[in-house]
Amino acid sequence: MALSRRIRAIIDLATVFAIGLNVFVFFYPDILNEPQQCNWHGAPDLRPKYDVLERVPSQYLQPLLRSVPGLYKEEEKEGSSPLTSQDQDEIHMLLFGDPQINGNWKSTKYIKRLDNYGNDYYLGHIYNTMFNRLHPSHVVVMGDLFSSQWILDSEFYNRTYRFVERLFPRDQEYKQHVLDVYNKHEDYDWRKWLEDEKKMDSLHRFKSRVYDNVYDWIHQDRTIPNYENPLFINLTGNHDIGYSGDATWQHMARFHYLFGQNNYVINYNKGTEKEWRIVVVDSLTLEGPALQPEFINYTWSFLEHLRDIENPTFSGSTILLTHIPMYKREGLCRDGPEHSYYDETYEREPYKRGLLRSQNHLSFETTQKLLNIVFPNPTQSGIILTGHDHEGCDDWYNLEDNDVWVASKSKMTTNREPIREIVVRSMMGDFDGQTGILTGQFSDKRWDFNFTYCSFTVQHWWWASKVAILIAILLKSITFLV
């Protein structure tokens, strides 16, 4: 009898521990981060529906109210929610750096397969938590969606399926195309895509990459943000298509097929004082020498048309999204400037000799050209959001008297507005599972941008919470059977 009581006490303790650990995992962004760090800048507090909740400290009350809709007071306007009736004059964007999900092969050990499976859901936990709390209008994955571009179409489909089902799940119609491709599992006809691209006139190509007020890729006539299915922007990373010395038509075609175009611009509120735009640039195809020089030509053609066609009538602020960071001197970020090339002794693929093999930053010259084209308005602010350097970084580009953009850690008074660059820290567990939160607010005839990180700490706590649940269930089951 005494032994039985002890066993029941152990089981009860295991159950309480499992519940406590999962509550901790649910709230650890709020435990680890400063108040308001995991929220939109200047967001008003939600009001609890029940008076008893007033006793909960605000640090935990607000995340609780945002996560459980039935606990907060609805807006007075019928059918309106304070989470989804956000001010449309604000920009609400979540950014996720370099998930780099791995694949499974016949030789992959079961422990590694389990690790990959759990990592998918750990990253999905980060996204789902932030989505349910904040309901963004835009979500950006900063490139390097996968861990390697050297995979066949079949494995590319496998990882894309995991991407939309586990990491960034969405409603059925927003992932149906991916599911259809995955179920067919047929190699994509990249040669047909190649022919179509080469036939396309450069002006036509550019115009097909210009969008106005798009908040929904499926329903592009939607005129307001879709807070239940935000606009997803997936950037090309070197592990998705390769550096320019590696990138092939097959790499580029399948990325376009499943993740969208690699260069485009979305204009919002065009012709009004609240005008702003998102410019997506494939920085992997800005520099060479390239395996397929056409890619370099296409990207620079896009930028030149942006300069000549869009810029003359554009008077607002720009958000630049790209994978490779801008040039900056050694010491400002973890990665310093570096370009490497396939040398003359490279035997495995001799046709790549002399081509670009890897890069940490864009070159000085490319950075100057890119900043001048993308940020044409001297009185307007702007922000650059990149990936690639997993450690993350935060700098300002100031235009000095000699018309040269120079990076520094401080914002300096110059003859034009400085441009901030955030190198978004990776969402991988080794980098504390970060979510970047960008808020844009319009005030005094200009857009101001505020950026914070919401940290989810290492993945081991998430794993521990799931193992604790399994142990508690197992012990309860054994007791029931006995």
The per-residue pLDDT for range 311-334, each reduced to its tens digit, is 999 999 999 999 999 999 999 999
The pLDDT score that the predictor gives to residue 447 is: 96
Mean per-residue pLDDT, 341-351: 93
pTM over the 0.85 mark: yes
User: In this structure, which topology does domain 87-454 adopt according to CATH?
Assistant: Purple Acid Phosphatase; chain A, domain 2 (3.60.21)
480 pLDDT above the threshold of 80? no
Of 339, 246, 337, which is closest to residue 295 (Cα–Cα)? 246
80 pLDDT above the threshold of 60? no
The per-residue pLDDT for range 203-235, each reduced to its tens digit, is 999 999 999 999 999 999 998 999 999 999 999
Of 281, 280, 282, 285, which is closest to residue 245 (Cα–Cα)? 285
Q: Where are the domains of the chain?
A: 87-454
Contact by Cβ (8 Å): 101, 148: no
The pLDDT score that the predictor gives to residue 468 is: 94
The per-residue pLDDT for range 415-430, each reduced to its tens digit, is 899 999 999 999 999 9
